[in-house]
Chain A
Amino acid sequence: MSDIAIDLQNIGKQYKIGGERQRYRALRDTLTDIVKTPVRRARNILRGQAYAASDMNETFWALRDVNLQIKDGEVVGIIGRNGAGKSTLLKILSRITEPSEGYADIYGRVGALLEVGTGFHPELTGRENIFLNGAVLGMRRGEILRKFDEIIAFAEVEKFIDTPVKHYSSGMALRLGFSVAAHLEPEILLVDEVLAVGDFAFQKKCLGKMDDVAKSGRTVLLVSHNMAAIANLCTATVLLNRGQLVNYGPTADIIEQYLNMGDVEDEIDEVLRDGRYVEKIECRDHLNNPTQTYRVGDPLVIDVTLKNLDQIASPNLGLLVCNHFGDRLILLSPHVQSELVLSRLDRKTYRVITEPLNLLPGYYTFEISIGSGYETVENFKSLPGFTIEYTDYFNTGKMPMAKQGILAQKATWQIID
């Protein structure tokens, strides 16, 4: 079994809800407990169990019965809704926390990137933070020295390398943090949702770097809500739901399964919960049923529910269909395609129906913008969108590949001379 990199056997992690919610409890409470039942309580303090047995009833399994073997050199995506156990799994594999049951065997040096810029100290300069952050992530001093110039160049902070990081813009700090981490060279790399940081150009650069890492033969585990990144980087994907492993297989199949779980709407809802004006986005098929898949040549039917528009002057809406990198492909806007004026009444659902659309098979995302006049007041990027399935659109049994273009365009060919 020398080609196995990670072997999970019945891994489970149990959390105490009280411990999570209350964080810590006053010693006073424990001291009163001590008076009541002295010996047991004292023993509990020594064991670090501040919680009485009755409190412990409220526990939940963040992860349970997870069995998984990941091969050496494989790039594996981990997807699932918030609270599915994705981050818990990475935390166990990176040894931050212990499993409550089962065990995991890991073959090779592990590097974990659960957050960009962990351990950065604002008072220290960029140069000093590179060394500190590198050491925190498990790089040796010699290794950092050797890659030092590369790290600064990638982060594009040459000019400010001797400036304290507290004077950096948030974008610069993120770039520096990612750059240090990107130069880690462990045999197994664990990455948690760090690709979602920074501006668009930098996100793309990060994806490119991740792609290099993926192709270098290292084993990578990547947690992301960004289906585009997963589809692009990962050969296989793990789907988790409520702490259970639902499926593990080829990325395209698993993403489709995930999108059809119906939980995608929940995920959109979860993102939009922070939204002030956008309440809901929903794709429908031609029979008016909710769907996440279309075929090449289907019209899109998308319902968007907006609210609170009475709070902004001259509101407008832009719904963008984007490819899986987030590149904008199509703008759908009531002001552009029609004369429709957004209602400023309490809450309204708008439906846009496109002409038959011939996007190539693949995964597409939404970006949505609410504007007031020329000013953007709300914007969400990389919202889960829909997949377009392969169909024999040309009746030739052939279809261009994703890298060969954007559209499946019907055309006639003839010899004219």
Chain B
Amino acid sequence: MSSPIPVEQIIEKSPQHLQAKPRLRLAPTKGWVSLNFQELKEYRELLFFMTWRDIKVRYKQTVIGALWAIIQPFLTMVVFSLFFGRLAGVPSDNIPYPIFTYAALVPWTFFANGLTNSANSLVSNANLIKKVYFPRLILPVSAIMSGVIDFFLAFVILLAMMLFYGIVPTVNVIWLPAFLLLAVVTSLGVGLWFAAMNVQFRDVRYAIPFLVQFWMFATPVAYPSSMIKNDLLRALYGINPMAGVIEGFRWALLGTETSPGAIIVVSSLAALLMLIGGLYYFKRLEKTFADVV
């Protein structure tokens, strides 16, 4: 009992130990690289600031500002209601067509803007990429996160419309955040592929608007997926993850009778696959961004 402090502790607290600096090795990487989420966590403040910047800047120097977030889906809803609802008589799962399509347009607009912005995020921040290091993943992710505000603005109108039509949401509404998450995963999954490709091929910028347009008609925005009578085929429709998102939204909010279980499971799997693939593709090309962009 001569020494009150064990020797190991003294060594632990020696200045040498405190001064030991982390070593970082910079060397060429080959092939597939790890995703390194730890680093993304270290840079979460930058992710926050980039998202905040995108939100702040989005409606600067516009007259009606954030109203644009509402006008886009709302006017599309009006047009769809006239042409598809009235003139073409597209069925709407026994609920009024305007709210039927608007409930789909809110997540769809979020997805479409998120996809477009994330696909262009690397190119529009080329200057940052060439001058500062940070995990490049922050750019497409913040491009999508900043759209969440727009989503909520448009969502308020959806609530107002439900009030107007006297639709009370079912308890299934607790699943809504999960469907929003599914939309995030989908737009990020696809956005990552295109963002990385855009660095090399600027064709992507011009291809995206078409892709978004075609994709919308391939998604049950203006029509219900219940038009497909065969159960198996309908579940397979979920390979388009946005089909799952939209049927989920309708089911949770409007209480459409069709049970979307199968379609949502398929959609979730498809979205997850796209995201994992996108992450690896993005990570693999990440090292070339600064040299090529």
Contact = CB atoms under 8 A, between A and B. Distances in A.
Interface string A1-37: 0100000000000010001000111111010000000
B287 A106 contact: no
A135 B132 CA distance: 11
Contacts of B257: none
B131 A30 contact: no
Interface residues on A, range: 35 or more
A187 B21 CA distance: 10
A103 B128 contact: no
B67 to A, nearest CB: 18
Contacts of B288: 48
Interface stretch (A89-97, A241-249, A347-355): A89-97
B232 to A, nearest CB: 31
B155 interface: no
A96 B288 CA distance: 10
Contacts, number: 125
A128 B56 contact: yes
Contact of A107 (B22, B60, B131, B281): B22
Nearest to B56: A124
Given A105-B23, A112-B133, A27 B201 contact: yes
A2 B19 contact: yes
A121 B57 contact: yes
Contacts of B26: 92-93, 95, 98-99, 103-106
Interface stretch (B45-53, B112-120, B173-181, B247-255): B45-53
Q: How many B residues are at the interface, by size bracket?
A: 35 or more
Chain B binding site: helix, strand, loop or mixed by DSSP? helix
Residue picked from B16, B48, B134, most chain A C-beta under 10 Å: B134
Interface string B125-146: 0011111111000000000000
A361 to B, nearest CB: 38
B29, B131, B196, B203: most-surrounded residue (chain A CB, <10 A): B131
A108 interface: yes
A273 interface: no
B109 to A, nearest CB: 23
Contacts of A268: none
Contacts of B29: 98
A196 interface: no
B131 A135 contact: no
B4 interface: no
Interface in B20-71: 20-29, 45-46, 48-50, 53, 56-57, 60-61
A15 B291 CA distance: 8
Contacts of A99: 26-28
Contacts of A27: 201, 203-204
A136 B287 contact: no
Nearest to B58: A123
A34 to B, nearest CB: 12
30 contacts: A24-B200, A24-B292, A25-B200, A27-B204, A28-B203, A47-B284, A48-B196, A48-B288, A91-B290, A93-B26, A97-B290, A98-B28, A99-B27, A100-B28, A101-B28, A103-B28, A106-B24, A106-B25, A110-B24, A112-B133, A114-B131, A123-B56, A123-B61, A128-B56, A131-B49, A132-B53, A135-B46, A135-B49, A138-B134, A140-B45
Interface of B: 16, 19-29, 45-46, 48-50, 53, 56-57, 60-61, 127-134, 196-197, 199-204, 281, 284-285, 287-288, 290-292
* Nearest 3 Cβ contacts at the A-B interface: A103-B27, A27-B203, A95-B133
Interface of A: 2, 15, 19, 23-28, 30, 45-48, 50, 91-108, 110, 112, 114-115, 118-119, 121, 123-124, 128, 131-132, 135-138, 140-141, 187
